[in-house]
Chain A
């Protein structure tokens, strides 16, 4: 039995979030084969995953309709782990290895939350802000629960609004960025009319939730799970009893696949030109991986990438003014939520930095590079391969992360071996 599956497309889109969906919609045309690949069971990405097609009033519904009525192949549950040669990706699914050939590739792999270690951060009931939101979407009962939201980024506000709507008691939002750093950005948001309404909407929903800029989590305590979180502004400290801490320090792009493909980067993001093309001709990038900028930027860039990849350059050019504006927004956001240096001093000597391999801060400080630390402490050697601790160690110790190599996600050995049924295999020792 051979369980290899081969696919050929004119345009392959990697990532089924807003950027990927918009790209697929723009690229869809009668004589062009377009496919969109995502590792999850449904499209939608971080923001629409649980609502895609579920609710007609949701903005996602518009995009769902477009995808639904276009000749786009949707490939779910497919984890891309390797780019063996130009024009080819390899992915793993429940039924084995899939080989995907493309003429044009659009990368829209999105972002994940950044986690920073502080004493107690590994206690149960402390999780990413987006992660807690997703758990509630999947049925976690939250009514009446006391929740502190801390870290950085606009996602904290989005999640606070969501949790309130689901009757949680959101005690406060602690945003590490100081108010003076946030203000220029907030002004920028207000001058943008669409975003103004968004911001107002959140303000209304949040009316009773204090937003503390310049505060951050310092110590989490609890016996078997979280009981209190101590927050600080550097001078004062408050101990807040709570049931959950939703905590993430803004987002970091999922850069593994673009790195593997050799796309040039700057400041950790994929570099693109005005057509969203990367440094590699025929490979485009859109959404959070080119700069954290939220939903509108993702949709816009996805659309441009979809047009560009299919030669619709006039349509792409018409969006260039909007594109410039969204880039300004993204860089203002980057500045607004820049991490404060005090966060580097959060971990105590015994605080775990690498959760997979239980490596504490004290074992890491003496090393001079990620490679040295990795080789001698096993930091980043576990199943996450540094996807979590790598972003923390980069910030804490200033170590640039190392080069990416396949598999970029864990894969079954059988898949990596491009396996045939072992029973039919002859031992190579047997004559």
Chain B
């Protein structure tokens, strides 16, 4: 008997939604298994910064390509997605970090990404609320900000329009072309795609994916408080640290006029409750860059779990043992940015077409080299 579906996608976060859209548009019969709210996992907790990052050449290739896909999609996105090309400023506190600005500037330019180096004065002109006396920064104007759950919903709606189906249950087991549901039923497909984000390993044991907790704080409306997404370069600090808890300055202007403040990273944190030590360290870090944050009114705090891998690259492609199983997870702090490229890559893999960037660095069967930390959300 032929299975009812060509592909069953587990999870309707932004990654699952992007995969569902691509596969459905490729003509596959697609089902999406999701018991909760669309984008209710990490997608609903994330900052929604579309950002080009360069911790590794493969990360640069994936984020850059995906940022371009978002940029091309932007005119079609409904207002609810709140897409805004705010740009990013990587803020340098002192002269050693300006060396990193110069390195980044050369690299991005070589890849055709427009950037502009800011000195102390130019930085303050861009963002008057930053503390005076910072060394400068690198402006990447093409980066953007969006509202992730609405973006996920937009992608999912396109999948549904191309014939995909939603199955509102949780998967309890998924292997060898069969997915068992918590309702008791079993559905079959030629392929299963695990897009369960930080819970990916709960259904596919042994995956090198671990939850990594992050905190966020949002303020009441303060229009014009910041114009760009502001992120610390954090070069000096990040070079050494490996698996310890850390915080970074990361401040985002929302289209609503609110200010979203990150970021923190914790391993071995399972509970989704607020850890006040971390929250306070994170806020201290933010106000050390922007003292005027002190007077904004905080209306909510929350946490989310990123799906971390040892080399900070996602797992996209076939599982090493089960020929029916594919992975689209491990996007850590960049899954909003890289969702569109992930969908495209998976489609290329499943349809045997030419991928637009080399797929090898993301294949689950690769060997892992741990990467140093960065300061991003």
Contacts and interface: CB of A to CB of B under 8 A. Distances in A.
A189 interface: no
Contact of A375 (B40, B280, B289): B40
A314 interface: no
Given A419-B287, A422-B291, A428 B237 contact: yes
A140 interface: no
A407 B218 CA distance: 11
B175 interface: no
Identify whether the interface residues of A are mostly helix, strand, loop, or mixed.
loop
A410 B261 CA distance: 15
A207 to B, nearest CB: 46
B202 interface: no
Interface string A372-384: 1001111001110
A2 interface: no
Contacts of A321: none
Contacts of A425: 284, 287-288
Nearest to B232: A429
B76 interface: no
Interface stretch (B53-61, B180-188, B296-304): B296-304
Given A417-B283, A428-B247, A429-B93, A410 B291 contact: no
A293 B221 CA distance: 37
Contacts of B236: 429, 431
Contacts of B40: 371-372, 375
A372 B37 contact: yes
A423 B292 CA distance: 11
Interface in B278-328: 279-281, 283-285, 287-289, 291, 293-302
A385 B285 contact: no
A406 B40 CA distance: 20
A375 B237 contact: no
Interface in A378-431: 378, 381-383, 385, 405-407, 410-414, 416-419, 422-423, 425-431
A422 B149 contact: no
Nearest to B294: A414
Interface in A79-110: 84
A50 interface: no
Given A369-B37, A425-B284, A425-B288, A405 B44 contact: no
Interface in B217-268: 217, 219-221, 232-234, 236-237, 247, 256, 261
A120 B283 CA distance: 41
Contacts of B301: 405-407, 416
Contacts of B221: 383
Contacts of A428: 237, 247, 281, 284-285, 288
Interface residues of B, number: 48
A256 to B, nearest CB: 13
A278 B124 CA distance: 53
Contacts of A378: 256
B218 to A, nearest CB: 8
B118 to A, nearest CB: 17
A417 B237 CA distance: 22
A405 B271 CA distance: 14
B173 interface: no
A385 B279 CA distance: 20
B296 A429 contact: no
A422 B288 contact: yes
Given A405-B301, A431-B236, A419 B289 contact: no
Scoring B93, B261, B297 by chain A CB atoms within 10 A of each residue's CB, the highest score goes to: B297
A376 B38 contact: yes
Nearest to B299: A410
A256 B84 CA distance: 35
A371 B287 contact: no
Nearest to B43: A375
Contact of A383 (B80, B294, B297): B297
16 contacts: A375-B40, A375-B149, A376-B38, A383-B297, A407-B298, A407-B300, A407-B301, A412-B296, A412-B298, A413-B261, A414-B294, A416-B283, A418-B280, A422-B131, A426-B288, A429-B97
Given A375-B40, A412-B297, A428-B284, 8 more contacts: A376-B37, A376-B80, A381-B300, A383-B220, A413-B293, A416-B301, A417-B287, A422-B288
Interface of A: 84, 357, 369, 371-372, 375-378, 381-383, 385, 405-407, 410-414, 416-419, 422-423, 425-431
Which 7 pairs across A and B sit closest by C-beta, in order of nearness? A417-B283, A414-B294, A422-B291, A372-B37, A410-B297, A375-B149, A383-B220
